[in-house]
Structure 1
Amino acid sequence: MTSVLRYTLYVPIALFCCLLQACSSTKTVPDGDALFAGYSVKVDDKNDSSKRGKLLQTELSATVQPQPNASILGMRPKLWIYNAFYTEKEKGLKNWIQNKLGEPPVLLSEVDTSSINEVMHARLHNRGYYKNNVQSDTTIKKKMATIQWTATVTEPYRIRKIEYTLNDSLPVHAELRATQPNSVIKAGDPYDLEKMIAERARIDQVLKNRGYYYFSPDMLIFSADSTIGNRQVDVLLRLKQDIPIHALKPYKIDDIFINANFTLNDSLSVSDTLRFEAYNYIPNENYVRARHVVKGMFIMRDSLYSRRNHLLTVNRLSGLSAYKFVNLQYEQDTLRPQTLDAFIYMTPALKKSLRAEAQMVSKSNNLAGPGVTVSFRNRNAFKGSEMLTLDLTGRFENQVGGRRSTTEGESEEENPAGLNSYELGAQATLTFPRLVSPFNLPNLRSAFVPKTRISLGYNYLNRVQFFQMNSMNASYAYNWRPKQTVTHDLTPINLQYVRLGSQTEAFEELLRENTFLRRSFEEQFIIGSIYQFTYSMLSLERKKHQFFSQATLDVSGNTVNALQSLLGSDKRDDDAEPPVPARTIIGQPYSQYTRIDNDFRYYLNFSEKSQLATRLIAGVGFPYGNSTTLPYVKQFSIGGPNSIRAFRARSIGPGTYNVSNQAFAFFDQTGDIKLEANVEYRFPIFGFFRGALFLDAGNIWLLEETYTDTGELEKPKFEAGNLLQELAVGTGFGLRVDVEFFVIRFDFGIPVRVPYLPEGERNVLSDFKFGFTGENSMVLNIAIGYPF
Structure 2
Amino acid sequence: MLNTYPLPRMKMVGMRTLLLICLLLSGCSVTKTVPKGDALFTGFEVKVEGKNDSSNRGKQLQAELGAAVRPEPNASILGLRPKLAIYNAFYTEKEKGLKHWIMTKLGEPPVLISQVDTGSVSTVMSNRLHNRGYFNNQVSSATEVDTAKKTATINWTARMGEPYRLRNIKYTLNDSLAIHQAIRQTQPESVLKTGEPYDLGLMTDERLRIDGELKNKGYYYFSPDMLIFSVDTTVGNRQADVLMRVKEVTPSPALQPYTLDDIYIFANYFIGDSMAVNDTISILGYHYIPNEEYLKAKHLLDGVFLAQDSTYTRENHLLTIKRLSGLAAYKFVNIDYSPDTLNPGKLDAFIYLTPAMKKSLRAEAQMVTKSNNFAGPGLKVSFQNRNAFRGSEVLSVEFTGSFESQVGGRGTGTVPEGVEAPKKSGIPSYELGVQTTLAIPRIVSPFNLRNLRTEFVPQTRIGLGFNFLSRSDFYTLNSYNATYGYTWRPKETLTFDATPINLQYVRLTKTTPAFDTVLVENPYLKSSFENQFIIGGIYQMTYSNQMFKDRTSNIFNKLTLDLSGNVVSGFQSLLGKPKPTPEEPRVLYKDRFAQYLMVDNDFRHYLNLGTESQLVWRLATGVGYSYGNSRTMPYVKQFSVGGPNSVRAFRARSVGPGTYDVPDTVAFSFFDQVGDIRLETNLEYRFPIAGFFKGAVFADAGNIWNLRETDKEGAKFEAKNFLSELAVGTGVGLRIDVEFFVIRLDLGIPVRVPYLPKGDRFVLNKFNGSFSGDYGMVLNIAIGYPF
Tell which deviates more after alignment, 633-642 or 659-668.
Answer: 659-668
Partner residue in 1 for 2:270: 263
Give the RMSD, CA atoms, in angstroms: 2.3
SS in 2 for 1:602: strand
Partner residue in 2 for 1:740: 739
Q: Which residue of the other structure, out of 673, 677, 681, is the alignment partner of 1:673?
A: 677
Q: Give the direction of change, closer, same or farther, for the CA distance of 1:150–1:558 in structure 2 (3 Å limit).
A: same
CA contact (8 A) 1:474 1:494 kept: yes
Shift of 1:695: 0.8
Mapped to 1, the partners of 2:402 and 2:317 lie a distance apart of 47
Q: Give the direction of change, closer, same or farther, for the CA distance of 1:94–1:469 in structure 2 (3 Å limit).
A: closer
Deviations 1:635-684 (A, max 9, x none): 11111111111111111110011112365342411111001101111111
Q: Which residue of the other structure, out of 372, 376, 381, is the alignment partner of 2:383?
A: 376
SS in 1 for 2:275: coil
Mapped to 2, the partners of 1:628 and 1:783 lie a distance apart of 35
CA contact (8 A) 1:489 1:531 kept: yes
CA contact (8 A) 1:659 1:665 kept: no
Mapped to 2, the partners of 1:502 and 1:312 lie a distance apart of 55
Shift of 1:90: 2.5
Shift of 1:622: 1.0
Which amino acid in structure 2 is aligned with residue 562 of structure 1? G
Q: Give the direction of change, closer, same or farther, for the CA distance of 1:469–1:10 in structure 2 (3 Å limit).
A: closer
Q: Give percent identity, aligned residues only.
A: 62
Which aligned pairs between 1:431-450 and structure 2 lie closer than 5 A?
A: 431-450=439-458
CA contact (8 A) 2:657 2:715 kept: yes
Which aligned pairs between 1:64-463 and structure 2 lie closer than 5 A?
A: 64-141=69-146, 142-361=149-368, 367-399=374-406, 404=411, 417=424, 420-463=428-471
Mapped to 2, the partners of 1:451 and 1:280 lie a distance apart of 26
Which amino acid in structure 2 is aligned with residue 753 of structure 1? R
Q: Give the direction of change, closer, same or farther, for the CA distance of 1:658–1:414 in structure 2 (3 Å limit).
A: same
Mapped to 2, the partners of 1:362 and 1:527 lie a distance apart of 29
Matched, 1:773 2:772: yes
Provide TM-score, normalisation by structure 1: 0.95
Shift of 1:365: 9.0
Shift of 1:539: 1.7
Shift of 1:15: 4.8
Which amino acid in structure 2 is aligned with residue 630 of structure 1? M
Q: Give the direction of change, closer, same or farther, for the CA distance of 1:512–1:727 in structure 2 (3 Å limit).
A: same
Deviations 1:695-719 (A, max 9, x none): 1110000001113xxxxx6453100
CA contact (8 A) 1:130 1:157 kept: yes
Mapped to 2, the partners of 1:512 and 1:611 lie a distance apart of 48
Shift of 1:268: 2.1
Q: Give the direction of change, closer, same or farther, for the CA distance of 1:335–1:517 in structure 2 (3 Å limit).
A: same
CA contact (8 A) 2:649 2:777 kept: yes
Partner residue in 2 for 1:469: 477
Mapped to 2, the partners of 1:493 and 1:404 lie a distance apart of 39
Q: Which residue of the other structure, out of 562, 565, 579, is the alignment partner of 1:571?
A: 579
CA contact (8 A) 2:768 2:776 kept: yes
Tell which deviates more after alignment, 239-248 or 74-83.
Answer: 74-83
Which amino acid in structure 1 is aligned with residue 517 of structure 2? E
Q: Which residue of the other structure, out of 633, 637, 640, is the alignment partner of 2:640?
A: 637
CA contact (8 A) 2:515 2:670 kept: no
SS in 2 for 1:720: coil
CA contact (8 A) 1:405 1:660 kept: no
Matched, 1:497 2:505: yes
Mapped to 2, the partners of 1:67 and 1:411 lie a distance apart of 65
CA contact (8 A) 2:538 2:561 kept: yes
Matched, 1:686 2:687: no
Shift of 1:519: 1.5
Shift of 1:101: 1.8
CA contact (8 A) 1:403 1:415 kept: no
Mapped to 2, the partners of 1:351 and 1:16 lie a distance apart of 50
SS in 2 for 1:341: strand
CA contact (8 A) 2:441 2:460 kept: yes
Tell which deviates more after alignment, 373-382 or 601-610.
Answer: 601-610
Provide TM-score, normalisation by structure 2: 0.95
Which amino acid in structure 1 is aligned with residue 738 of structure 2? V
Which aligned pairs between 1:683-762 and structure 2 lie closer than 5 A?
A: 683-707=687-711, 714=713, 716-762=715-761
CA contact (8 A) 2:415 2:421 kept: no
Higher relative contact order (CA 8 A, sep 6+): 2
Matched, 1:55 2:60: yes
Mapped to 2, the partners of 1:488 and 1:744 lie a distance apart of 30
CA contact (8 A) 1:5 1:769 kept: no
Which amino acid in structure 2 is aligned with residue 57 of structure 1? Q
Partner residue in 2 for 1:648: 651
Shift of 1:277: 0.4
Mapped to 2, the partners of 1:365 and 1:503 lie a distance apart of 19
Shift of 1:395: 1.3
CA contact (8 A) 2:421 2:669 kept: no
Q: Give the direction of change, closer, same or farther, for the CA distance of 1:725–1:192 in structure 2 (3 Å limit).
A: same
Mapped to 2, the partners of 1:586 and 1:391 lie a distance apart of 29
Q: Give the direction of change, closer, same or farther, for the CA distance of 1:87–1:281 in structure 2 (3 Å limit).
A: same
Mapped to 2, the partners of 1:401 and 1:195 lie a distance apart of 59
Shift of 1:12: 5.1
Deviations 1:387-426 (A, max 9, x none): 0000111111123799837999689986552581111111
Tell which deviates more after alignment, 170-179 or 51-60.
Answer: 51-60
Q: Give the direction of change, closer, same or farther, for the CA distance of 1:405–1:242 in structure 2 (3 Å limit).
A: closer
Q: How many residues align?
A: 778
Partner residue in 2 for 1:783: 782
Deviations 1:232-271 (A, max 9, x none): 1111111112110001110111100000000112112222
Tell which deviates more after alignment, 381-390 or 49-58.
Answer: 49-58
Mapped to 2, the partners of 1:257 and 1:625 lie a distance apart of 59
SS in 2 for 1:434: coil
Which amino acid in structure 1 is aligned with residue 52 of structure 2? N
SS in 2 for 1:616: strand
